[in-house]
Structure 1
């Protein structure tokens, strides 16, 4: 990204207590590897699909789950395994954000695909089906988005809009673990063509606290 002739500095930032944004954390090579992995998972036993909500609404994003499978609003045993290397990447992410991983052991990953051409977005919500208060690790791939990070009380203000670019890491735990958050906008066509991805992929790693 540029502003005039000079690059815009994107520095690590603590958006709220326990909520840390680390721009450009994933190398270009690691991003390509993750995109390839997401495509492979999508060919597996639980492909990407639009989640149907209890009230009959259909989510605009497409989702697949590794490890425990999320469905509104609970986890059930899944049929796609969470790779050990992906859990290890989650621990590396916590070290980058917090300086230590604290024995982080994610047992589920939600992979969301946002089709910018279809106007895919995510409303404000909390990740609260987990029985563990361990942090959520979020990895961004592809198109740039607006990530709205709010408060723990309601879906409204105060909130902070953060621009997440391909390769960015966002971790939220501690006092911010159950904060409302969402994706009101994806900027189509902003991904590096070398990534071979049209749209946005978001991988979130979590500990469910389930046995």
Structure 2
């Protein structure tokens, strides 16, 4: 595991241990974050700790090159038809991040999103790298997700999502899946395994396979 300094570089992500930690330190500048995501690396750490950079093996993704990229239940289809939700894109990115910070899913141990990360990813959004999908009901934000868009690789790196009304975050994800499939994207990077993502259709692939998508 390497300790980063001011130089804008990372070790080879394929050299990370199985658990995925690759390096510590550095900063959250736009340039470093763009390099990280294009290299298959992402930051993940607790507020107050040094920045930790990860490239886990296996990697969890939604495969957009297969027909059943996401498991869409009958109840989710009914929610899209009947609940009167409206989906928007990139209209309140920072608010989405703050809701993800304040409303972690029940399967998460708190949140890893800090003020430092909110500022860093808002900077990415202002430059077009970070995107959000937002779900509204009667002009009230009720769910959504955000992540880093890598159109040159056909990959969207999902970071976090939240929901305060039934199925809101799932509908944001479904909208994103349908949108990216039409644009012939390869996958949505979901990073690390959890049961919630698996229930929605995410699968694990070898790290080397994922890294090959970025070459």
Q: Give TM-score, length-normalised by structure 2.
A: 0.26
Higher strand share: 1
Q: Give TM-score, length-normalised by structure 1.
A: 0.26
